[in-house]
Structure 1
């Protein structure tokens, strides 16, 4: 895909790798609709990235709001080329201490939100003659289970299964589906979880470059799964 002039949707665009994804796409000439719940944060991102970043205040767990926005924004003459399902939420605790609200929030954001966005965008992509691309940002937690991560693992394993089925379902409609399984990235996602970032974590711009590389593959070339990790994941002071 030639990203120049393409239209992209990025969820979770107000922080973390969502900003870097948006920036990388805009640098390649794309127009980005950046979705997130915080209007203030989105406006700051727009000030940084410029007029090709269109902020959209959206809670991706609200299917009706998603449908209303998509119907108002896109049409048979204007369809998105790229969907980056990046928004994510995590709470970590022993299974008997994980609250019902935390469980529901992870399932709704990580799994249902991905489904809600995708089911609305796929029909529009099917109408395009050019190849389109859906990228689901999962996490290594979609492949490997760990203690205190039962809810997060469950939601991310769900996205993994969803992506595998979707890839086989829409490949003949000219829609690529790629699942990203990144390990630790130095973002504020960890700041909310009492896990300190450090220099040996992957950097958001590095992951964004991989995203660009995957999008720019030839039309009949698909990378449907990609796992990325720090070579040395230990904090410098622990070595």
Structure 2
């Protein structure tokens, strides 16, 4: 895909790797629809990135709102070209300590929100005469289970399964699907999740450059899954 003038939707765009994705894609000449709930952060990002960044204040777990926005924004002549399902959160703790609210919040954001947006975008991508791409940002927690993150594991394992099925469903519609499994990245995710960090975490801009590379691969070349890790993570105690 030549990213120039392509419409790229990014969820969780107001900070962290979502904001880094937006910056990297706009630097390539793309147009970004950045979705998040924090209006002030989106407006700050628009001031930094310019008119090619369209801030979209939207809760992806609100299915009617998602449907309304997609139908009002895209149509013949203004098709979506890429969707990066990046929004996600983790709530960590032993299974007996994980609250029902935390469980349902992870399921709603990490899985339901991805489904709500994808199911509305796919029909429009099928109408797009160009090749399109869906990138789902999972986690290494979608490849292996670990103590105290069982709920988060469920959502990321689920996203891997959804991505694999979707890739096989859409490949003959000229729609690529890639699932990305990042390890630890230096963002606010770990602070919000209440988990520890380490000095050798990956940097958001490096992850963003990898996403750009995946988008720019030739039309008949698909990276369906990719794992990203820091070379020297925190040593086991």
RMSD: 1.3
Report matched runs for 1:209-220 at 5 Å.
209-220=209-220
TM-score by length of 1: 0.97
Aligned partner of 1:73 in structure 2 is 73
TM-score by length of 2: 0.97
Aligned partner of 1:41 in structure 2 is 41
2: CA distance between counterparts of 1:125 and 1:194?
Answer: 38
Large movers: runs of 4+ above 4 Å: none
Aligned partner of 1:94 in structure 2 is 94
* Matched-pair contact (CA < 8 Å) for 2:106–2:155: yes
SS in 2 for 1:21: helix
Aligned partner of 2:57 in structure 1 is 57
- Determine whether 1:152 maps to 2:163: no
Report matched runs for 1:113-132 at 5 Å.
113-132=113-132
* Matched-pair contact (CA < 8 Å) for 1:125–1:175: yes
Alpha-carbon displacement from aligned partner over 1:80-104 (angstroms, at most 9, x marks no partner): 1010000001100111110001000
Aligned partner of 1:137 in structure 2 is 137
Alpha-carbon displacement from aligned partner over 1:140-170 (angstroms, at most 9, x marks no partner): 1111110111110001111110000000000
1: CA distance between counterparts of 2:130 and 2:67?
Answer: 23
Q: Which moved more, 1:188-197 or 1:48-57?
A: 188-197
Pairs aligned (count): 237
SS in 1 for 2:179: strand
* Matched-pair contact (CA < 8 Å) for 1:74–1:80: yes
* Matched-pair contact (CA < 8 Å) for 1:187–1:197: no
How much has 1:129 moved relative to structure 2?
Answer: 1.3
* Matched-pair contact (CA < 8 Å) for 1:10–1:83: yes
SS in 2 for 1:220: coil
How much has 1:194 moved relative to structure 2?
Answer: 3.3
* Matched-pair contact (CA < 8 Å) for 2:37–2:58: yes
1: CA distance between counterparts of 2:176 and 2:191?
Answer: 33
Aligned partner of 1:30 in structure 2 is 30
* Matched-pair contact (CA < 8 Å) for 2:86–2:136: yes
1: CA distance between counterparts of 2:196 and 2:107?
Answer: 25
